[in-house]
Structure 1
Amino acid sequence: MSLAERLQEAREKTKPRFEQWIDTLDDEDREALFEAAASGMSSTAITIAIRAAGGSVSKETIDVWRRTIGKAG
């Protein structure tokens, strides 16, 4: 196994559960999620939509994630 593969594996193991869930989304849903995060939509509204779609997330997780990607709202 190459160094790059080992580092990628290590990164994936430490990725927060919500970010792992994002990785499972298809392109359309992932894009919609990032657009919502960049918009004026509240973290509460985003949380409700994610839960309705079967995701497990808290408003606090969305708040932290938005700050992480520079989309605090």
Structure 2
Amino acid sequence: MGTFVLKKLTFSKKQLVPLLLVPKGKDLQFQVDLVKEGKLRTVIDSKYPLTKAADAWAKSIDGHATGKIVLSFKCAQ
């Protein structure tokens, strides 16, 4: 039931698994190990220079992003 609800809320077929950790040494190591094993990754939808923050905000509000939107001082697109 929970997976069905998550898929309906996100309009996605991707599997979403909530990961809640208390910032302790062993928890952070667990997270690092997941990244090293390729089991945990961050999906970046797009990158914007800070001068285009309004465009990034508009994309975020429109709900068309399929991952994180990154703002940076220097941005290679």
Largest Rg, 1 or 2: 2
Looking at both structures, which has the greater relative contact order when contacts are Cα pairs under 8 Å and sequence separation is at least 6? 1
* Structure (1/2) with the larger strand percentage: 2
TM-score, with structure 2 as normaliser: 0.28
Larger helix proportion of the pair: 1
TM-score by length of 1: 0.30
